[in-house]
A and B are shown apart, each in its own frame.
Chain A
Amino acid sequence: MANPTTDNPKDKSKNAAEPEYPLTTMAVIAPIVGWLIPGGGHILLKRYGRGVLLMISVVAMFVIGLGMQGRIYQPNGGDILDMLGFVGDVGTGVLYFLARIMDWGNVMAANAAADYGKTFLIAAGLLNFIAAADAHHIALGKKP
């Protein structure tokens, strides 16, 4: 006996048209909040432990980077490497804008520690991008 749910061509076309993980409002808002406030996307999705750990990690790397006299890149650096540095830095969301407003990190690398600091700042932003993408996946239902 034919299975009416699988053999009907109309049902097949309907299933193919529906995405496995439909895009929801939260799936858009969570990564934006996660980008602006490190760990905020996870906290918004009630993953409090993960959110707090992500926040501590990204904020600590950002503060350590500034403490090591790392440089904050600006969008109009002119050099392609400066632009890539800006993309990394801007990943920290409000921390980047706060640093620009307060004029933190407006120094030229004068020693090795400052170079490490610059790397910490960029890595903090890139890690926060990963965390924001993770929040998106959680909101979609791809990840518990």
Chain B
Amino acid sequence: MNFNLNLSHFSAAVVFALFASIVFGITQRNSTMEQVKYGLYCFAMFVGGVFVAGWVMALIRR
């Protein structure tokens, strides 16, 4: 493919979290409202995990 996409680590993690959360929400719950809630929960956990891991690595580096 002839296009080049340059995403930072954080933006790549957020895009990954978005699409993975959509799939998890749809596949792991039954009703539409449950799917939306679970998708949002997964997204929050993914992005929250990025922040937590980032802070842990920053503290280890000091």
Using CB atoms and an 8 Å cutoff, list the residues of chain A in contact with chain B: 50, 53-54, 56-58, 60-61, 63-64, 66-69, 102, 104-105, 112-113, 116-117, 119-120, 123, 127, 130-131, 133-134, 143-144
Bound CA span A119–B19, Å: 13
Q: Report the Cα distance A116→B16, complex, angstroms.
A: 10
Q: Is the CB of B5 within 8 A of A58?
A: no
Say whether chain A's binding surface is mostly helix, strand, loop, or mixed: helix
Are B19 and A61 in contact, with the CB atoms below 8 A?
Answer: yes
- By DSSP majority rule, is chain B's interface helix, strand, loop, or mixed? helix
| B6-58 contacts to A (CB < 8 Å) | 6-7, 9, 12, 15-16, 19-20, 22-24, 26-27, 30-31
Q: Which of A67, A102, A123, A143 meets B5, CB within 8 Å?
A: A67
Among residues of A, the one whose C-beta sits closest to the C-beta of B26 is A50
- 28 A-B residue pairs with CB within 8 Å: A53-B22, A54-B22, A54-B23, A57-B19, A57-B20, A57-B23, A61-B16, A64-B15, A67-B1, A67-B4, A67-B5, A68-B12, A69-B4, A102-B1, A105-B1, A116-B7, A117-B5, A119-B16, A127-B19, A127-B20, A130-B27, A131-B27, A133-B27, A134-B26, A134-B27, A143-B30, A144-B30, A144-B31
Cβ contact within 8 Å between A104 and B1: yes
Residues of B within 8 A of A57 (CB): 19-20, 22-23
Tell me the nearest residue of chain B to A99, going by C-beta: B1
Q: How far is the CA of A69 from the CA of B3 in the complex (A)?
A: 9
Closest chain B CB from A68 CB (angstroms): 5
